[in-house]
Amino acid sequence: MSEQMTLREVIPPDAKSLLTFLKKVSQQSDFITFDEMKDVTVEEEKVALDAIYQSDYDEMIVAVFDSEIIGYCRVENYDDKKAEFGVVVDKEFWNNGIASYLLEDTLNWALDSPLNEIFLEVYKNNSIAIHIYQKYGFAVESEKEKTLVMKKMV
């Protein structure tokens, strides 16, 4: 058994592992939902991951430990200059700096992309996530009833 985590770009063969990961983490926290993904097939996810892999405006970095996805960070194209951002880590691996590694790697990718801005929406009661986003330069742009919209220029 390896004791090393690696970060890498997601690829279409990761589809089944990614769907398994998303289902698992959606059960660990109220901050993650899986409802819109529950009917996605592995083949559909492969097509989606290939589109991400080929895109200049989208990116997904996965954290892998012992051949299993334990986290990911996603930049999803909103328009030619903006993209939505998100990071998820398996609860078993919280407090190990994995979110920071994923954020740094993905933000470095964004600096070389055509994007000017990345934004995210985070629950107001998710103070740990808000703290890490602020640590990496995200600022609150607006508030909704239960969430904050945060952005960062890249």
Angle (CA) 123-51-72 rounded to 5° is: 40
Rounded to whole angstroms, the Cα distance separating 78 from 110 reads 13
- Going 74 to 94 to 31 to 135, the CA torsion angle's sign is negative
The pLDDT, as a whole number, for residue 76 is 93
Please report which confidence band the pLDDT of residue 38 belongs to, taking 50, 70 and 90 as the band edges.
low
Confidence tier at 40 by pLDDT (50, 70, 90): confident
> What are the tokens at 42?
């592995």
- The range of the structural domain enclosing residue 92 comes to 5-153
What would the mean pLDDT of 11-23 be, rounded to a whole number?
Answer: 93
Share of the chain above pLDDT 70, in %: 92
For the chain, what is the domain count? 1
Tokens representing 44 are: 């559909």
20-42 burial, b for 16+ CB within 10 Å, e for fewer? ebbebbbeeeeeeeeeeeeeeee
- Residue 153: is its pLDDT beyond 50? yes
Instruction: State the pLDDT at residue 26.
Output: 83
What's the rounded mean pLDDT across residues 38-45? 86
Q: Which residues of 50-88 are buried (b: 16+ CB within 10 A; e: fewer)?
A: eebeeeebbbbbbbbbeeebbbbbbbebeeeebbebbbb
Q: Given this model, what pLDDT does residue 101 score?
A: 96
Q: How confident is the model at residue 22 (pLDDT cuts 50, 70, 90)?
A: confident
- State the pLDDT at residue 1: 41
Q: How high is the mean pLDDT of the chain?
A: 91
Please tell me the predicted confidence (pLDDT) of residue 23: 85
CATH number at residue 61: 3.40.630.30
- CA neighbor of 14 nearest in space, from 100, 36, 1, 52: 52
Contact 85, 74 (CB under 8 A): yes
Digit-coded pLDDT (tens) for 86-122: 999 999 999 999 999 999 999 999 999 999 999 999 9
